[in-house]
Amino acid sequence: MLSTMERLGLDMVHAIPSLFTVLLILLIARFFVRLLHLFFKAIEQGSVEVAWLHPETAQPSRRLASAVLWLFAAVMAYPYLPGSGTDAFKGASVFIGLVLSLGSSGLVNQVMSSFMITYARALRLGDFVRVGDVEGIVHHLGVLSTKIKTLRGEEITIPNAIVVGTTTTNYSRFAGTDGVYAPTSVTIGYDTPWRQVQSLLLLAAERTPGVRKTPAPLVRQSELQDFYVKYTLLVCPDLPELRLFVMSELHANILDAFNEYGVQIMSPNYEADPEGLKIVPKGKWHAAPAKNGE
């Protein structure tokens, strides 16, 4: 027993230089990681500009570089760990590697998808986007998932692999410069002058708060159907995240304008003209329980 204890004690003493080497490697790695953090933080804040890196990709690039640096440090420190050359240590390493490789295939897919989202610059924090059937503001871009807050106050978590495999519409990217058009359509009969319909749609857009004057609203005759003409009105909301409320107000103004000038909207389809126009007279615009002014 004493001989065994003596041998273990001597092995621990002999391992001190190797442990010191491991500690030195970790300290050097930590030093370079902190330098990387300062460098990428300066790029993210805009105080340093480099041609090959954008500010919105600085944070994930820092994480990736730090992970690579720590992995390199672990590889360098591995031979100096006590017992690293024994069969038991090698067997445990193989077992852990096998478990990780079998259980992390989905995890690796999500992580790689997050890098694709980041470096493709498809989404940024605060953007108003539509991913599949989900529409809202991006408030978290994670390694495994993307979180979107809808206009109803819901938080939708979407795995990054689904974001990569789904068409994503970004309403905020050009909203502050070129403007992003939002479409809405009405169908009007052939007996109504198209110039009158265009004027009514533009009048409704002019009455709607939250619609930009520049670029100006546009009207297009998008389809010539059997019973009617389909007109599409294109407007640019001031704030992309309020487009749902702006479009609701626009639709109300379209209904009011067409009723005011006695122009019948031809939806839904019908096969014969009714005896009277299907419009709401101005005197009934505020029929109960609606209040005047609403």
User: Has residue 190 got a pLDDT over 90?
Assistant: no
- What pLDDT does 41 receive? 85
Nearest to 99 by CA among 110, 107, 88: 107
C-alpha 121/C-alpha 119 separation (Å) is: 5
Residue 262 gets which letter from DSSP?
A: T
What's the mean pLDDT in 182-187? 92
Which stretches of 78-166 are DSSP H helices? 87-103, 105-120, 160-164
Q: How buried is 123 (Cβ within 10 angstroms: 0-12 exposed, 13-18 middle, 19+ buried)?
A: buried
| Structure-block tokens of residue 64 | 């990736």
Nearest to 233 by CA among 255, 262, 261: 255
Radius of gyration of the chain (CA): 32
What's the mean pLDDT in 197-214? 92
What's the mean pLDDT in 87-107? 66
- What pLDDT does 110 receive? 76
- What pLDDT does 292 receive? 67
Which of 43-52, 119-128, 183-192 is predicted with the least confidence, judged by mean pLDDT? 43-52
User: Has residue 290 got a pLDDT over 60?
Assistant: no
Q: pLDDT digit string (tens) for 36-50? A: 888 888 888 878 787
